[in-house]
Each structure stands twice: as C-alpha cells, then as structure tokens.
Amino acid sequence: MFNPVPFADKVREHFERVHDEIFSGDPAANPSLDVEVLGISVAHDTPVLVLVAPWTLCGLAEPPDGRLTSTLRVRSRPYPALLNEVDSIGSYWSIVLIPDVSTYLGHDQARAAALEFAEPFRTAVAKVRLELTQVEDETRRALLKGRSAKVSSPARTPFGTPDAAADPSQGT
C-alpha cells in the first residue's frame, strides 16, 4: 500500500516555506488564505492531494514511476499536467484547478472548493495510472481502447512532444 502522508507532509512544509519567504505580504496572495493540504489519498498507486495556497489551488500527484499524462480530465474538463522537481519534495505532477483564489473571502471558502475537487482529481489520476500501469505497449493500449492499431506521434514543439514531457524516459 502506498502511503500518501509523507508526500503530503513534504508538500505542506515546502509551500508553507514558500508562502513565508516569497508570498507573505505579496498583493498576488490572498491574505485570508493559509497553506493547507486536503484530500490526501491514493489514486491507484499514486499519492494525491489538493493544495490550497494564498495564490492558487492545485491538485498534486506523486506517481511511483514518475509517469502521468500531459493532460488530466477532471470533471469532464481537461487540465494541463506539469511535471515538477523540487528538492524538498522530489518529482511530482501538478494541475492548477483554480488559478485565481483572490476572490475567496476566507479560508473556509477555499477549503470547501478544494474538497469539492479532491475526489474528482483522485479519480482522474487513478484512471490514468491504471491505464499506464496495465498496458505498457502504446500499440496494445490503443487496441484496448478500440482505436486503430496505428499510434500517431504527437506534434513536436520547441519543448519536445506532450508525451515526451509526460514520460521522462522518452527523449525529445
């Protein structure tokens, strides 16, 4: 069983430090909000949580093999997933669920919004992780999804391909 508590502790400690050192007193931060981690859980094999911070509300995931897709569909809406590397946390993925928390009147309001996202975020990560861990071969994965056996390559960008960004083992 994967224990999500160490990940949650590292995230909370890091973002409290970021708040104290960078965002405290910053007009971009909502002074009525605190740093808090909620919805601490495991999605298939991946620790997940929702982070409330005075400047954002995000879903964070720490897959054991570092793999996730470049987009997560939460509540039928696609969100870009970003791979992050922070010394005090390690490698993790994040999606910005609510980019502007400046309108929240208090922490209870932000907390309620975060809790509403916790289960849909966990479900989205679990679905992707199940797919990634059940079938490793892209061609077989496409066949299982009922698509054609031909797997097309994603468009290349100056930053690599979306799949290369999602899978660190693939080169750009």
CB atoms within 10 A of CB 47: 23
For range 17-24, the mean pLDDT: 93
pLDDT digits (tens, 9 = 90+) for 116-140: 999 999 999 999 999 998 865 555 5
Confidence check: pLDDT of 172 > 50: no
C-alpha gyration radius of the chain: 17
**Tokens 């916790």 sit at which residue?**
118
CATH architecture of 5-146: 2-Layer Sandwich (3.30)
Give whole-number Cα distances, 84 to 61, 62, 91, in Å: 10, 10, 6
Lowest-confidence region among 44-58, 64-78, 91-105, 141-155: 141-155
Confidence of residue 71 (pLDDT cuts 50, 70, 90): very high
The domains of the chain are located at: 5-146
For range 80-108, the mean pLDDT: 96
